[in-house]
Amino acid sequence: MKKRLDGLPVLRSLSLRLGSLAVIGAWHCIVGPALCLAASQQIVSTDPVRSGVATAVTSAIVIDGMLDEAPWRQAPNIGDLVQRIPVAGAAPTERTEVTLLYDEENLYIGVMCYDSEPDRVLASQMARDAGLNADDRLGIVLDTFRDQSNAFHFATNPAGAMVDGLVFANGETNDDWDGIWIVQTARTDEGWSAEFAIPFKTLSFPAGETVWGFNISRTIQRKLEENRWTGARFQTQFFQISEAGEITNLEGLAQGVGLDVRPFIARLWPRPETGGDTVVGKPGLDLFYNITPSLKLSVTANTDFGETEVDARQINLTRFSIFFPEKRTFFLQDAGVFNFATTGIDPPGGIPGTGAEIFPFFSRKIGLLGGQEVPIDYGAKLTGRVGRTEVGMLDVRTRDVPNVDANNLLVGRVKQNFLEQSYVGAILTSGNPASALSSSTLGVDVRLATSDFLGSNQNLLFNAYGLTSNNEGVTDENSSYGFGAHYPNDRFEAQVLWREIQENFDPAIGFVQRSNVRMLRVAGSFNPRPRPSTGIQQMFHDVFFTRFTRLDNGLVESWDIYATLVDWHLNSGDSLHSLFDLNPTYERLFEPFEISPGVVLPPGEYRFMPMRIFFTSAQKRRVQGSIGLRFGNYWSGTAKEIQTGLSYKLPPNFLISFNANQTFASLPEGDFIARIYSSQVSYAASPFLSFSNLIQFDNRSGNLGLQSRVHWTIEPGNEIFFVFGQGWVQDLERGYRDFRRQDSRLATKLQYTFRF
């Protein structure tokens, strides 16, 4: 029986489930006096912390990018930036002035980017959340709690693109967070300028504190030069919040009532295969309330995700599950609170992942079942912190669908921060999105991190975890545990990962890539920076060894070595990422494996060694391309994989790109071809109005899909989406070029934010 939908059941459901969070809190209290003592005694760095002053203003600031009001001229700037790349610690080749102002409602950040060649400033995109790696750009982080781990991130380029996100765990990012703020830019004969206005209602911060963590980065793309206010060392990444400076004098800040109410109206026009048009419409509501300045309640009712982008196509040529990232806004907001130690160590770009990913909480399991949407009646989420303790609580109720009854799904997370960058935490999930059977997952994790290892300004990270899933009818072999150590620095990098994933470990609201294995990964990298006269910015040399051993019989299931001999990033911006990378591989099949429809590999041992070449041209160019070739032995035969990409930019409005990934395999068991094609055409009339079109095809499903999206921001927080989708299915009986229309879909969504 469906519950009546109104506000009270939502809040009552949340309050009832806070008891489960108390269970986790009880564990936290048992951790002992030693941990409590460590949490209260923060290590204070001996390095001086760079400090800047924010100036209070009472006169109006017009956000037009010009920085021509009197306060901008009269207030002190925060001091010069320092070059990080290409020469760490040197003076920048171009001057940058940064000034901070604030009034009762907003923090204002004004930046003047002087440039001796203003006609060569690069700005290729202006759409909301556009990728800015090809452009001159500014990045800002605000550590409002001064916890040296979490922050808000804002960025722009000379075209005024608005990019934002959240930083957590001192370097991990959630780029899908969208806050309510504004930035305007202006081009001048002296360079370009940017003017940010960030409402205090958009931020969370502790009441009464007058000091925030702050850092700013400026990139001059044509020179491949990055300048920062603090942390201008090769081994320090911009999102290492522990390296931020501080801004002071933030007196009397307030968030008002702290309530955002966002009603929306959604309409959907599906065209079933039977013909005829059906119009489906519904109103809904998103609500955000700051219970305290640092603790936020988010509620969604009659939830709609019609504006969400489609997934990128993938063809699975492995024996194990593939991962599709979350894209729905409600679940992405504050997602870092639920981050777990199993996701904290990634390989460098181009190096394959472990193939043994574990997420005790994976939000795509909620509201999606077998690729189909499961309607959500309501969701409630409590996120934030109390002192140095971070908490996260999620409760979602889904509706009845065929074969699955309505369900309540619960996630609780707590992390106790201690020292400068470390924490100990716990997670609890309850419910099963795909079954009426009871299910829960409980886990604990610890992270120990420093950016001043042995007093040498080097980074070091260690984490460990333990998880157990409790599914009805399963009583043993249902755990996973492991540890990882990472030395992520500029010249030398190393990592060790070990984890055990038992056969029956299956978190119902989580994701497990493979089970019944024990994994070991050992890796090291040597990444020197030659003299600039060589034309090479940095050289990367990696060796990664990964081995999987079966738990049931103790036999090695697979191992591989990935060796990068030549990976050169040139001063021109071009990169020779791979020149004959070596990848000797061993695989043991214990049962037949259908690698492609009709192509079945028999049980047995397989040894092969593919090689890889990959080159990309500089992103700063109007026409940019990449080509990669992987070739050699493959399982019982041979294969070639060809990756190609080509993009054309008409700055800053127009971008068209085409990508293809094709595998041609010749095996004694049969030949097959796996193809994925995709093309994107985007046009941004302004930072507030953008049009995007994505076309994708893969020959495994034979499906050709189109999604067209219009995103119009009337003003920050008030938006209209139009999303059109069309699918066609390849009719092989009539020929490879014959496609039959499968479905049509048009969705619209209007949302308006009331702030109190």
pLDDT tens digits for range 521-539? 999 999 999 988 899 999 9
Tens-place pLDDT, residues 160-190: 999 999 898 888 888 878 889 999 999 999 9
Q: What is the rounded CA–CA span in Å between residue 355 and residue 546? A: 10
- How large is the average pLDDT for residues 631-654? 95
Cross-strand bridge partners of residue 386: 389
Asked if 228 and 235 count as a contact pair (C-beta separation under 8 A), the reply is no
> Where residue 46 falls among pLDDT bands split at 50, 70, 90?
very low
With H, G, I as helix, E, B as strand and everything else as coil, classify residue 97.
Answer: strand
Can you tell me which residue has the tokens 């990959």? 614
Structural domain spans, the chain: 40-248, 294-305+317-526
Q: What DSSP character marks residue 28?
A: H
Is the pLDDT at 20 greater than 60, yes or no? Answer: no
- Can you list the positions of beta strands (E) in 311-459? 358-359, 368-369, 372-373, 376-386, 389-398, 407-418, 422-430, 439-450
Asked whether 719 and 712 are in contact (CB, 8 A), the reply is yes
pTM score, whole prediction = 0.84
Alpha helix segments (H runs only) across 506-571: none
- Helix/strand/coil (H/E/C) assignment for every residue in 104-147: CCEEEEEEEEECCCHHHCCCCCCCCCCCCCCCCEEEEEEECCCC
- Name the nearest CA neighbour of 406 among 8, 9, 40, 7: 9
Q: What is the pLDDT of residues 57-116, one digit of tens each?
A: 998 899 999 999 999 999 999 999 999 999 999 999 999 999 999 999 999 999 999 999
Residue 294 or residue 381, greater confidence: 381
735 or 493, which is more confident: 493
pLDDT at 322: 83
The yes-or-no verdict on residue 13 having pLDDT over 70 is: no
Q: Is 82 helix (H, G, I), strand (E, B) or coil?
A: strand
pLDDT (0 to 100) of residue 264: 83
Instruction: State mean pLDDT over 497-505.
Output: 96
Model pLDDT, residue 337 = 87
Of 35-44, 45-54, 652-661, 720-729, which gets the smallest average pLDDT?
Answer: 35-44
CB 148 within 8 A of CB 231: no
pLDDT of residue 323: 81
| 40-44, 244-248, 291-295: least confident range | 40-44
Task: Name which of 207, 102, 211 is nearest 147 in CA terms.
Answer: 211
* pLDDT value of residue 280: 64
Architecture of the 40-248 domain: Sandwich (2.60)
Which residue is associated with the tokens 């034309």?
535
With a cut of 50, say whether residue 23 has pLDDT above it.
Answer: no
Instruction: Give the integer Cα–Cα distance in Å for 612 and 151.
Output: 38
Question: Which runs of consecutive H residues, i.e. helices, occur in 523-635?
Answer: none
User: Does pLDDT of 273 surpass 70?
Assistant: no
CA distance 711 to 689: 6
**Among 537, 452, 469, 495, residue whose Cα is nearest residue 85:** 537
